[in-house]
Amino acid sequence: MSSTSTPARQANFRFRCIACGDGSDAAGQDFRCGHCGDLLEITYPAWKESKPDAAALKSSWRDRKLSSKPADQSGVWRFRDLLPALEKDDQAITLREGNTPLYELPQCARITGVPGLFAKHQGMNPTGSFKDAGMTVAATFARIAGFKWVACASTGNTSASMAAYASRGGMRGLVLVPEGKISWSKLSQALDYGAVTCQLRTDFDGCLKLLQELVKRAPVYQLNSINPFRLEGQKTLALELLEQLDWQVPDHMIVPGGNLGNSSAIGKALLEMLELGLISRLPKLSVIQAEGANALVRTLREAGGKRLISVPAETRATAIRIGNPASWKKAAHVLEATGGACEQVSEVEIAHAKAEIGAEGIGCEPASAVTLAGLKKLLKQGFVKPDESVVLVLTGHLLKDPDFTIDFHRGDMFPQNASLSALRHPPVVLDATLDAVIGTLKQFE
């Protein structure tokens, strides 16, 4: 097998190198440009001659919601007109991903002083993270290309998602995760969904490097976000969001940044929506990183976005514990194109914001909470104005990292920090008597 995509005669897409612009109909297993080695993206050449009609697209996406066909029930494949085409809709490996809620955040709105504050909760996907939106597309194309094995390096969520879609699609999954550096709950998903799971004695960046070598030597299909099919699927987050907002464009979208695939995908979607006339202006797309894993922040500030500054990554938000982000160039491009900002937040700020999102009755994993922490910073800087509308992209479910949450509420995390005390809700151990429970009730009145 020499290429990951044997384009069918009717393929509606091509690959294009993001650096030298070289176009091709097929991609090698490393998904890198044959000329300059940079990353590939997917383009739709037919749009040049005849753009899909925006009003017709919106109406057919709405109509599909009423259909019982699996591809129509998927919040990803419902938007298939803007995705690489399948020969038949039933080729899609789908768990009915997407269809994630857009929540108002009344308490966080009060705290930040931004009444128009929303959360697009991608943690409500089938395996609990935004990865499912990309995985359904990339796993489908892996199966179409005839691969028996799919593989990924991961900080946990990609592996959970890939393991699920591999099994649903009748393929084997190989997971490479850094030993001791991902949450048990994510690891347990990969095990349960039946992947071959390798805990490597390295970090995420080490796992990804090894995978890049592996795909050149063995017939495994890589499902990291270097794979441009992943980003096409993840684009649908933005399509679905705009549909939920009745195509009224928010002023800001804020996403966490790790390997930087998701911000790249959302940015690509926004630019394509503008090109096709689905929206008339762009929201500013901002990326927030943990201070201890701030490669993009440093790349933009210290190198003007011209070359990557890698960092040794350390953060308790393990999902974004990444020091050498693969899609940094794509992310830098979409930040510039949409006029977004790039900020970093501290571990305390992450814990604080996570508890505030939890107290909304929603919750998210630590990496997702950087968005709220980042918003507070962007407000202070005047980059976001209180009367503007803001959508935070919550990337993972609260239950993805229970250790973090329990350490926080029990006071084991930042025990000396007074500003966090009011947000902690530690469990109370009592004798099993009515008096004890009533006494506790009074105490918390």
Binding site for ligand F0G (CB under 6 A): 129, 131, 154-158, 225, 256-263, 319-320, 365, 367-368, 395-396
CA within 13 Å, CB half, 377? 21
Determine contact, residues 252/164, Cβ cutoff 8 Å: no
Shortest distance, position 431 Cβ to ligand F0G, whole Å: 40
Q: Considering the complex, state which of residue 169 and residue 257 has its C-beta at the smaller distance from ligand F0G.
A: 257
Q: Considering the complex, state which of residue 29 and residue 289 has its C-beta at the smaller distance from ligand F0G.
A: 289
Shortest distance, position 262 Cβ to ligand F0G, whole Å: 3
Shortest distance, position 370 Cβ to ligand F0G, whole Å: 8
Distance of CA 142 to the CA centre of its chain: 20
> How many other CB atoms are found less than 10 A from the CB of residue 348?
14
**Cα–Cα dist 92/136, whole Å:** 7
**Count of residues for the chain?**
445
Q: Considering the complex, state which of residue 41 and residue 72 has its C-beta at the smaller distance from ligand F0G.
A: 41
Shortest distance, position 280 Cβ to ligand F0G, whole Å: 27
Q: Considering the complex, state which of residue 250 and residue 257 has its C-beta at the smaller distance from ligand F0G.
A: 257
Q: Considering the complex, state which of residue 5 and residue 224 has its C-beta at the smaller distance from ligand F0G.
A: 224
Q: Considering the complex, state which of residue 86 and residue 308 has its C-beta at the smaller distance from ligand F0G.
A: 308
In the three-class reduction of DSSP (H, G, I as helix; E, B as strand; rest coil), residue 295 is classed as helix
Q: Considering the complex, state which of residue 262 and residue 389 has its C-beta at the smaller distance from ligand F0G.
A: 262
Shortest distance, position 374 Cβ to ligand F0G, whole Å: 12
**Cα–Cα dist 96/79, whole Å:** 13
Q: Which of 308, 425, 270 is nearest to 358 (CA)?
A: 425
Shortest distance, position 130 Cβ to ligand F0G, whole Å: 7
247: left (phi over 0), alpha (psi -120 to 50) or beta: left
**Cα–Cα dist 160/164, whole Å:** 6
Q: Considering the complex, state which of residue 180 and residue 427 has its C-beta at the smaller distance from ligand F0G.
A: 180
> How many other CB atoms are found less than 10 A from the CB of residue 73?
17
424 burial type by CB count under 10 A (0-12 exposed, 13-18 middle, 19+ buried): middle
Shortest distance, position 421 Cβ to ligand F0G, whole Å: 27
CA within 13 Å, CB half, 268? 28
Q: Considering the complex, state which of residue 263 and residue 315 has its C-beta at the smaller distance from ligand F0G.
A: 263
**Two tokens, residue 245:** 């907002």
Shortest distance, position 308 Cβ to ligand F0G, whole Å: 14
Shortest distance, position 231 Cβ to ligand F0G, whole Å: 9
Q: Where are the beta strands (DSSP E) in 166-283?
A: 172-178, 196-200, 220-222, 252-256
Determine contact, residues 18/39, Cβ cutoff 8 Å: yes
Q: Which of 351, 128, 358, 339 is nearest to 253 (CA)?
A: 339
Q: Where are the beta strands (DSSP E) in 46-181?
A: 102-104, 117-121, 149-153, 172-178
